[in-house]
Amino acid sequence: MDKIHKPVLLKESLESLNIVPDGFYIDCTLGDGGHSFEIFSKLSDKGLLLSIDQDQYAIDFVKEYYKENIKENWIIKRSNFRKIADLVSDIHRKPDGILLDLGLSSRQLELSHNRGFSYIEENEPLDMRMNQDLGVTAKDLLNVLSEKQLTELFREYGEEKFAHRIAKEIKKAENPLETVGDLTRLIYKASPADNSNKNPSRRVFQALRIVVNDELESLTEALDKSFEILQLEGRISVISFHSLEDRIVKNFFNNKARSGEGELLFESHIAPTDEERRDNPRSASAKLRTVIKKK
C-alpha cells in the first residue's frame, strides 16, 4: 500500500507546535497520517496523540500503513473536528498543541473512492462528501438550486468571477448532471479561454466541496473549541490553502492576540520554501499560522 500524499510544511508545522515528549497533541486532519506520525515519533510513552478524520477511507489507510507503529497512546477517531471538545471529554488532559491541515490529501484527489473530488476523474459521480453519512451531495446542489443560488454559491465559496455564466450554463443543460465530466464540460463552455495553466473547474469544485461538507462553519467552530480546551501556553497551528479559510484563521488568531488571550508565533504566516514548491506543487498556496494561548 503506497503512500501518495506529501505532508505540507511538515518541518515548520512540527516546530510551531513546540512538541514536548510527555505532551498531549491533537491532529485534527489525519489524512494519510504524515503529520500525525511525525508528531507521534516525538512522544514518549507518557505522551498522547489524538488523530481525527471524518473520512473513513483515510482512517483505514493509516491503520494499515502504520500498523507496526500505532500504540495505545496514538488514538484515532472518526469525527468532524468541530466536535473536538466532545472527543477529548473522556481523556481528562488538556492538549498542549493542536494541528489543522485544511487541504485535501493527494489520496482523496487521486483515489477518491468514487466521490468526485477531482475535476480530472470524468466518470466519477458528483458526490464530494468527506463523510458518506452526510445527506446532500454536489449533484443535489447543482440540480436543485436555482441559477441565482448557484451564482451566489460559486461567487462566495469559489470566488469565481464567471459564476453567473457557469450557473446559467448548468441550468440550461437538457439533462440532470450526474458525473464530474458532465459538470466540467459545462464549465469549459462557460469560461473564456486564458493563458494560465490552471483548470477553470477548480473554483467551482472548491465551492461545491465547501458547501457539501460545511467546511467554513466547521472550521470556525473547531477554532473556538480548540482554543477553549487548550492548555495555557499551548499552541494551535493551522495550514490553510485558500483565502476563505485563511481569512477565518487570520481573523480568529488576530482577535485572540488583540484581546490578550493569545500571542501570534509569527508576525504574519509561514509559506513553503521554493524547494518544497518544486517538490510538491500542491503546497504552493499553503499558509501556516500559529497562536499561543496566554489566558
The predicted structure's pLDDT at residue 105? 61
Instruction: Classify the phi-psi angles of 38: left when phi > 0, otherwise alpha if psi is within -120 to 50, otherwise beta.
Output: alpha
State pLDDT tens for residues 101-137: 998 765 555 556 678 888 888 999 999 998 888 889 9
The confidence score (pLDDT) of residue 198 equals: 76
Residue 160 has pLDDT above 70, yes or no: yes
Place 158 in a pLDDT band, splitting at 50, 70 and 90: very high
pLDDT digits (tens, 9 = 90+) for 170-200: 999 988 899 999 999 999 999 987 656 678 9
Share of the chain above pLDDT 90, in %: 81
Which pLDDT tens digit goes with each residue over 42-58?
999 999 999 999 999 89
Amino acid 181: pLDDT:
96
Question: Phi and psi (nearest 5°) for 205?
Answer: -65, -40
Phi, psi angle pair for 115, to nearest 5°: -110, -5
Three cell numbers, residue 203: 473554483
pLDDT tens by residue, 11-20: 999 999 999 9
In tens, the pLDDT along 210-230 reads 999 999 999 999 999 999 999
- Please write the tens of the pLDDT for every residue from 227-274: 999 999 999 999 999 999 999 999 999 999 999 999 999 999 999 999
Residue 118 near residue 112 (C-beta atoms within 8 A): yes
Question: CB neighbours of 74 closer than 8 A, spacing ≥ 6?
Answer: 36, 40, 49, 51
Over residues 14-38, the pLDDT tens digits come to 999 999 999 999 999 999 999 999 9
pLDDT over 60 at 97, yes or no: yes
What is the 3 state secondary structure string of the chain? Answer: CCCCCCCCCHHHHHHHHCCCCCCEEEECCCCCCHHHHHHHHCCCCCCEEEEEECCHHHHHHHHHHCCCCCCCCEEEEECCHHHHHHHCCCCCCCCCEEEEECCCCHHHHHCCCCCCCCCCCCCCECCCCCCCCCCCCHHHHHHHCCHHHHHHHHHHHHCCCCHHHHHHHHHHCCCCCCEHHHHHHHHHHHCCCCCCCCCCCHHHHHHHHHHHCCHHHHHHHHHHHHHHHCCCCCEEEEEECCHHHHHHHHHHHHHHHHHCCEEECCCCCECCCHHHHHHCHHHCCCEEEEEEECC
End-to-end CA distance of the chain: 45
Structural domains in the chain, sorted by start: 10-108+215-293 (3.40.50.150), 135-212 (1.10.150.170)
